Amino acid sequence: MNRLRHPVGVAILLLGVLTPFVPLVLWSFAGRWRYPGLVPQQGTLRGVRLLADPTSQVLQGLATSATIGAAVTVLSVAVGVPAGRALGLYEFRGRSLVRLLLVAPALVPGLAVLLGTQVFFLRYGLADTRAGVVLVQLVPAIPYVTLIMSGAYANFDVDYERQAALLGARPWQVQLHVTLPALRPALTVAAYFAFLISWSEYALTLLIGGGTVKTLPLLLFAYAGGPDPTEAAAVALTVIVPPLLLMALVVRGLSGRGGTLGLARS
């Protein structure tokens, strides 16, 4: 059992996933890459320089995306974890209805739902602001946090909390020292998903941010429609590095605890 099983199958999987990254990486360093060359005829660091160039706004975009992503993560966890606790731990009338409401935004496309709110965001001064963008991005983020946490709470034994309370722990101590450690894997995955949703969002940011709140996806869209594939590819690499690094951290934090991405029992 020391050899890799199904080497052909594994090769196909990895090839399928990695192939689209090849032209992306090559283009971001390609000074000249005319058809039908298989590799660039000339290398360049123009893409790298673009990232540092203040007029390109890439660094500001990075900061904007990170700020909004952090806010959406914190807020959707703050709102979604209690909801997940209620759905995972309690049986009550109307539970399936509440569940449907909180899951629905994951199913019905956000743009279709939120198009009608744009005029209200404009009216109440939330359009073209980061706060407004954070608010709309909460809509697709909350369902994932709620779902993952309700699965985790359903497998959580509340008796641990009761025992800690009997032993004299205050409610916040119970949460901090008993509940939180038990739910840490699910919480990590939920927070990561919330961040990912915010980081990747394009249409809602455009709708409410109106092009004033320039997150990285908005900048990338502009470059992708532009004349220079080198610049577009360089910006694209900038967009994927932070979430890939975070994913590596998340997977590392979870490994040894079993389960795939903590979804195993949800």
Query: SS3 for 43?
Result: strand
Give, as ranges, the residues between 229 and 258 that touch other proteins (CB under 8 A).
Answer: 229, 232-233, 236, 239-240, 243-244, 246-248, 251, 255, 258
Q: How far is the CB of 208 from other proteins (least distance, A)?
A: 11
- Choose between 55 and 260: whose C-beta lies nearer to other proteins: 260
- Choose between 6 and 54: whose C-beta lies nearer to other proteins: 6
For the residues of the chain, what is the DSSP string, one character each?
A: --SPSSHHHHHHHHHHHHTTHHHHHHHHTEEE--TT-SS-SEE--HHHHHHH-GGG-HHHHHHHHHHHHHHHHHHHHHHHHHHHHHHHH---TTHHHHHHHHHHHHHS-HHHHHGGGHHHHHHTT-TTSHHHHHHHHHHHHHHHHHHHHHHHHHT--THHHHHHHHTT--HHHHIIIIIHHHHHHHHHHHHHHHHHHHHH--HHHHHHHTTTS--HHHHHHHHHTSS-HHHHHHHHHHHHHHHHHHHHHHHHHHTTS-SSTT-TT-
Nearest CA to 223 out of 58, 79, 37, 109 is that of 58
- Choose between 5 and 55: whose C-beta lies nearer to other proteins: 5
Give, as ranges, the residues between 82 and 121 that touch other proteins (CB under 8 A).
Answer: 82-83, 85-86, 90, 92, 98, 101-102, 104-120
Q: How far is the CB of 130 from other proteins (least distance, A)?
A: 16
Q: How far is the CB of 70 from other proteins (least distance, A)?
A: 17
Q: Which stretch binds other proteins (CB under 8 A): 50-58, 66-74, 180-188, 216-224?
A: 216-224
- Choose between 64 and 266: whose C-beta lies nearer to other proteins: 266
- Choose between 58 and 236: whose C-beta lies nearer to other proteins: 236
With CB under 8 A, what is the number of residues at the site for other proteins?
98
- Choose between 54 and 124: whose C-beta lies nearer to other proteins: 124
Site string (160-189) toward other proteins, x via CB under 8 A: --x--x-----x------------------
Give, as ranges, the residues between 5 and 64 that touch other proteins (CB under 8 A).
Answer: 5-6, 9-10, 13-14, 16-24, 26-27, 35-38
